[in-house]
Structure 1
């Protein structure tokens, strides 16, 4: 990744952010265009969307406001997303019966959700030879091209995210546990996910960058072209 420039990092981060924005707004738009829900349901889900996004955006910049005590402003800014999600979930729970809000259905038991053809749930351990029926040999060759694409995507996502997070401007110290964490993930997490049929663990760009930002203390410097936030300290948790 030595040939990756800051311009490449910004383009990649922008594309990933755009995907998150589209995926977040698309269900709200589809509610109105596809007539899947009543108008009350659509409006309430849209209001929850606006409330959560608006509150998180407002609180994230609350640190620089003149209101209330400094520790309150810092707390609100550091946990802006969490506060917005909790408050939005609380509103959804309170008014779900009145508005017919769709809620996520979760099984009471802790088990895989995939149901086989006989109605039973799949076992925890994945059988590479097939579970419902024998896996055909041609399927291995057929899966090569998608697997290559997935490998390239995973490589770019993981490494470009690492490059962005470890920018020199963030001034990370990266103690020994930082590298131990990556070793444990590669040696233990990925094989276990493969055996259990779980999603692979990758450094997702938006959550990773958001996590670093939430742990960063910024100093606002006055420059000829305007104000600029400069990282002064990152609270590393390893």
Structure 2
């Protein structure tokens, strides 16, 4: 049976991919926490008093859709001439409930369609088509539900600022001399992060399990990344490089695999990968053309659906990740262990010790990457580089 591949990710790259996946989960968790704090656990929903007496003139504030605020002045003279105003907070717990529905609905529908080729429904071509377009279908369906069916619930939607000039030179000449040297130090650590992420992504793409026929081009890729980021830095635009999990997922979407059964466990081997530049070229052209979809219809996409999109990427990126599989062994009966090569050759105690050390390193990296202090976050590339001797 031909379907999407799930190649085994090499040991030296699985840690970095788990960290990238954990970053996606953490970002979505933070956004969900802020949404519940602003809507579900607001002062109005906690039964606090909504009426306050103030002297002189105050404002009546009502939060509308897209988080726009309108202020209406109210003045009421009572007795001695003092003004009374009403500060009204609206309890919007339905926003948080719908936020969860759209976010996890996007994740559920995307993952279900992603694995649809493993079901007996429809024929093989239709199953493969649904699996290939699982994410776009999930985003469109849940965006329709959030923007039309629940249009009376005022959710936050995709927004952008069209007042800024994109291709505007950054005012580099205004930097003082000490700031220039500080930027050089930060730029060096950032270049190390680019170097490691680019090479890890390239190595995962060129994994022998993928059976690619065309050879790798690590040095050429780094040269192109350097030239692009040099141009983007001049204009203050976001940097670009091969990243996780997008690069391995791109290869996976172009691969055909066969299912094999060994000792009752089903695993997949890659038959071939369609090595072409057209998919990357056309996908980036379509990304550029999406500028013409602003503000509509892209403004109809709730931010909860976008969060579900990133959750989908995090979940699907764990397929074939060796570190994630070894973590799952902690909660699995020993008789049900998959017949992997390292399980057959390495004692169970050593596997668990090694996995525990990797979890400890992951926690250290998360303490740098998710720290509330910006200067500690800047040390993340250095901390990642220091893990190489440990490895």
Question: Which residue of the partner structure matches residue 22 of structure 2?
Answer: 18
- In structure 2, which of residues 248, 251, 274 is the aligned counterpart of residue 235 of structure 1? 274
The answer as to whether partners of 2:202 and 2:218 remain within 8 angstroms in 1 is: no
Give the Å deviation of 1:181: 8.1
- In structure 1, which of residues 94, 104, 127 is the aligned counterpart of residue 171 of structure 2? 127
What does residue range 1-238 of structure 1 map to in structure 2 within 5 Å?
6-34=10-38, 35=41, 38-95=92-149, 97-108=151-162, 111-112=165-166, 124-129=168-173, 134-174=174-214, 182=221, 185-186=224-225, 188-224=227-263, 226-238=265-277
Question: Which residue of the partner structure matches residue 339 of structure 2?
Answer: none
> What SS does structure 2 have at the residue aligned with 1:149?
helix
Question: Which residue of the partner structure matches residue 118 of structure 1?
Answer: none
Per the alignment, do residues 187 and 50 of structure 1 end up closer, same or farther by CA in structure 2, a change over 3 Å counting? closer
TM-score by length of structure 1 reads: 0.81
Gaps of 5+ in 1: 113-122
CA distance in 2, matches of 1:183, 1:154: 9
Give the Å deviation of 1:175: 6.9
**Partner deviation per Cα, 1:122-147 (whole Å, 9 max, x = no partner):** x6122321xxxx21111012223322
CA distance in 2, matches of 1:49, 1:74: 24
Task: Report 1 or 2 for greater relative contact order, CA contacts < 8 Å, sequence distance ≥ 6.
Answer: 2
Question: Which residue of the partner structure matches residue 45 of structure 2?
Answer: none
**Partner deviation per Cα, 1:33-58 (whole Å, 9 max, x = no partner):** 45468211111111110111001111
Question: Which residue of the partner structure matches residue 303 of structure 2?
Answer: none
> What SS does structure 1 have at the residue aligned with 2:180?
helix
Aligned length: 219
The answer as to whether partners of 2:225 and 2:240 remain within 8 angstroms in 1 is: no
Give the Å deviation of 1:174: 2.5
Give the Å deviation of 1:201: 1.1
Superposition RMSD in Å: 2.7
TM-score by length of structure 2 reads: 0.51
Per the alignment, do residues 181 and 91 of structure 1 end up closer, same or farther by CA in structure 2, a change over 3 Å counting? farther
